[in-house]
A and B are shown apart, each in its own frame.
Chain A
Amino acid sequence: MMSHAPIDMRLRVPMHDESDVVVARRRTRELALQQGLSAAQTEALATAVTEIARNILVHAGSGELFFAAGEKASRRGVIVTARDHGPGIAHIEQAMQDGFSTRGSLGFGLPGARRLVDEFELESTLGIGTTVTLRKWAGAESG
């Protein structure tokens, strides 16, 4: 979906340290507001973005996030793509399981992010990196 529109460089957020997470969250809120997401949906998306941004910092060290406005079945929404050139994920299924990485953090990380958005895609190649795509549509029944 992203390839149809030229990438707006203002909507690219490089991810190097914690302060970039702050920027990514601001972009998320701005775009969510513009696309008509509810307050609860916006918070859910911001939380998901925070988790994948954290994931980049913890596992890859650095990477980048792209933000795009999208539309699906006449519902507007926000598409966030996170990309890093880290080690990649060897066992995706395991990484998507709750509580896989840290004890006492059930529902955090990638599986947590997945449940906060409407669509979630994960692509990872060992030694090449990982791409995560989140999509959240306005007017969905839940936050």
Chain B
Amino acid sequence: MNGKQAMSDQQKHIEREYSRVLGAYLKAGDESALSRAYELGRRAMIEGLGVLDMAVLHGVAVEELVSSAAPADQHRLTQVAADIFKELLSPFEMSFRGFRAANEELQRLNESLRKQKEAVEVANRELESFSYSVSHDLRTPLTAIDGFSHILLQDYAHLLDDDGKRCLRNITSATQHMGQLINDLLSLARVKFGEVHRTDVDLSALAISIGQRLQARSPQRDVHFDVQSGIHASGDAHLLAVLLENLIGNAWKFTSKREHAKISFACEQRDGRTVYTIQDNGAGFDMAYAGKLFAPFQRLHLARDFEGTGIGLAIVRRVADRHGGRVWAEGKVDGGAKFQFTLGGERKP
């Protein structure tokens, strides 16, 4: 592109033409000079020249005429110059009104956008608090269902045949699943509304203890869990524990069909920020659905393959959000998954 050069050529052309037009109007009084000055102003505006450019070229043209005009023309020059200059500037005036109107329209749109955003936020908050209280209230009847099912299983099992016992066991397992769902919903809401107390958190130690708990729960599994030592972060200890539990728990879950599972937790500096990475060699996912991963209740795998409530990653995203960071994922079907997050609150060169 040679825009600057082209513009100055155009400017020179307009300058020359303007001088000529001014001179012609002064000498012959031909009104078409006014139209030509108007057209020059129009072209200058379209070419992106400014009002100051116009003032300068007008000054130069007048200067020239002052020295060369016949004495009879000298005193007419002031009026003639004003007439022609007005024509040159008229298109700018017209365009400024357009810009002003466009700007007002833009402000109006911004304002209505802001109001809409506020309305959405209010609606969201109401929905959140509604879902929190509903979840909370659902617990009581669920506890009753769970409790009475257990009583039936323990005290009245002898009155039921095998089919009856199976039904009852299905009820208790469904009840437990629903209990987990409610707990996750409540924890999602708490992550959203709770305060963030930043302290120095030893993420490596946290990751190792989460790994140990998972291993203890399923001792038969062979998982190589590689944790980079000395990873610290400034953040809310409780929220970061929830985040790591979800991400490491996911990695643990989605590598369950691997004979030799591998999970790693590491961090690196990128563009002045610390990026934390949890990677596994598990079931992975289709990148086409990467955008849906972090939305609540989105599950990319069948419940019979990998159980879960579909809320874990929504919680992870909220924790990252609450810290001013973000989370993103890469994966390949059957080729493992890589989750990365930042926690904000830093930017070193």
Contacts and interface: CB of A to CB of B under 8 A. Distances in A.
A108 B48 contact: no
A123 to B, nearest CB: 22
Interface stretch (A46-54, A65-73, A133-141): A46-54
A115 B101 contact: yes
A106 B35 contact: no
A72 to B, nearest CB: 22
Interface residues of B, number: 22
Size bin of chain A's contact surface: 20 to 34
Contact of B90 (A43, A105, A106, A111): A43
A6 interface: no
Contact of A25 (B35, B46, B47, B98): B35
Interface string A5-46: 000000000000011011001100000000000000001101
Interface in A57-114: 98, 102, 104-108, 111-113
Contacts of A116: 94, 97
Contacts of B46: 102, 104-105, 108
A98 B101 contact: yes
Nearest to B33: A22
Contacts of B31: 22, 25-26
A46 B38 CA distance: 11
13 contacts: A18-B32, A18-B35, A22-B32, A22-B34, A43-B90, A51-B94, A102-B46, A107-B97, A107-B101, A108-B46, A108-B91, A115-B98, A116-B94
Contacts of A98: 98, 101-102
A68 B35 CA distance: 22
Please name the 4 residue pairs, one residue from A and one from B, whose CB atoms are nearest each other, closest first. A107-B98, A107-B95, A112-B94, A47-B90
Given A46-B90, A47-B91, A105-B46, A112 B98 contact: yes
A108 B90 contact: no
A22 B101 contact: no
A37 to B, nearest CB: 14
A44 B47 CA distance: 22
Given A43-B86, A102-B46, A50 B99 contact: no
Most chain A C-beta atoms within 10 Å of own C-beta, residue among B31, B90, B94, B96: B94
Given A47-B90, A50-B90, 14 more contacts: A18-B35, A43-B90, A47-B91, A47-B94, A50-B38, A51-B94, A98-B101, A98-B102, A107-B96, A108-B91, A111-B98, A112-B94, A115-B98, A116-B97
